[in-house]
Amino acid sequence: MTSRLLLEYDGSAFAGWASQPGQRTVQAEVERALRVVLRRDAVPVTVAGRTDTGVHALGQVASYAGPPAPVSGLNALLPDDVAALSCVAAADGFDARRDATSRAYCYRVLARRGRAGLDRGRALWWPHRVDFDALSECARALVGTHDFTAFTPTDTDHVRFSRDVYTAEWRRSAIDGVRERLEFWIEADAFMRQMNRVVVGTMLEVGGGRRTLEDFVALLAGRPRAEAGPTAPACGLYLVGVGYGGERVLT
């Protein structure tokens, strides 16, 4: 029997998803809770997206061999910054990572002069000039199939740098008279390490007038990492959800 687990977590105090000796990780906490609830010596889980240190999740999917665990029992054992949203039986052999056909992320930016208070650790504080129309043009350019070599570290295990982007857009909402929240939403077949954060860091340079839209578009043809912008902080990135069977998370 295979089960499918849906999780959300605040990644601020974790060294990412994957278990690491001597580090606090989401995987270690989830597997510990499953071992207790299911009364087993080990419950290895497979995850759809291995989030990095400081990255959050609103809809992380994991799978494991065994019966569904009661959500109430899991949440009684999980730390306050991790929550199980559901745990259900899945098709035999379901693999959260291998069977995923898309993943969706959101990156949050707090655009105002004053520093973040409530959003500290959950959004990038951006006190600089930003042209929303320029950001939107960059997002539109991302849709389609491109070579994202420029948007992942040079030292990488990736062998395929082409990705199919299904949706990419910036959204904005006024919170009060002095601040505005900007959110970058993207869904693709898969993502490389730090890809979204480098994309955001580079787009903000376009939005700030430090590079042009043409510069950004040129990077999508497989330019080297050194030509792209900085890596945006992890605190603003959220794994929103995972698509299976060709279904999209963002509509």
Catalytically active residues are 52
Residue 195 to residue 154: CA distance in whole angstroms? 12
- C-alpha–C-alpha distance, residues 105 and 115, integer Å: 24
The separation between CA 232 and the C-alpha centre of its own chain, rounded to angstroms, equals: 12
- For residue 218, CA distances in Å to 147, 157, 168 come to 10, 24, 17
Decide: 55 and 239 in contact? Cβ < 8 Å.
yes
